[in-house]
A = this chain, B = another copy of it.
């Protein structure tokens, strides 16, 4: 299987009790809040969150964008995005337009309908997110975000964006 480390770097450790608690809590809580928000969107007749994030990234970019440039920030695999765009294009939210610089790929363009849907979804998404996270206050939230980002190896994100 995997080649043994040259030195005694990783001795196949068992996570401490504290880490196991984090693991359990992270799984349960993220699934819980995620599910809560997804349910709110579904009940309002909207598509799932992944659609929103594609629309939002395109809107934020402000210009037609290559799938590969979307896939990375969205933590999504190319074939997943390919099929997601298939569906979204079929629904008229997005359009594949030619890319003259690189004929392998194309650019994804947000349609007016896509833009409208993203805004409509935000009207449900935002309150649902607020509701799902209501049990902590702002200072706890900042500390929680800091610890999560440290856990994920994310340095000092300065994101002042939606979602």
Contact = CB atoms under 8 A, between A and B. Distances in A.
Contact of A142 (B18, B138, B141, B145): B18
A9 to B, nearest CB: 11
A92 interface: no
Interface of A: 1-2, 10, 12-34, 43-44, 75, 123, 126-127, 129-131, 133, 135-136, 138-145, 147-154, 157, 159-160, 162-163
Q: Is the interface of A mostly helix, strand, loop or mixed?
A: helix
Contact of A14 (B20, B130, B152, B157): B130
Nearest to A13: B130
B127 A19 contact: no
Contact of A33 (B13, B26, B43, B147): B26
Nearest to A10: B127
25 contacts: A10-B127, A12-B127, A13-B127, A13-B130, A17-B160, A18-B139, A18-B141, A19-B133, A19-B136, A20-B129, A20-B163, A21-B141, A21-B145, A22-B141, A22-B148, A24-B145, A24-B159, A25-B148, A28-B152, A33-B151, A135-B152, A136-B151, A143-B143, A144-B147, A144-B151
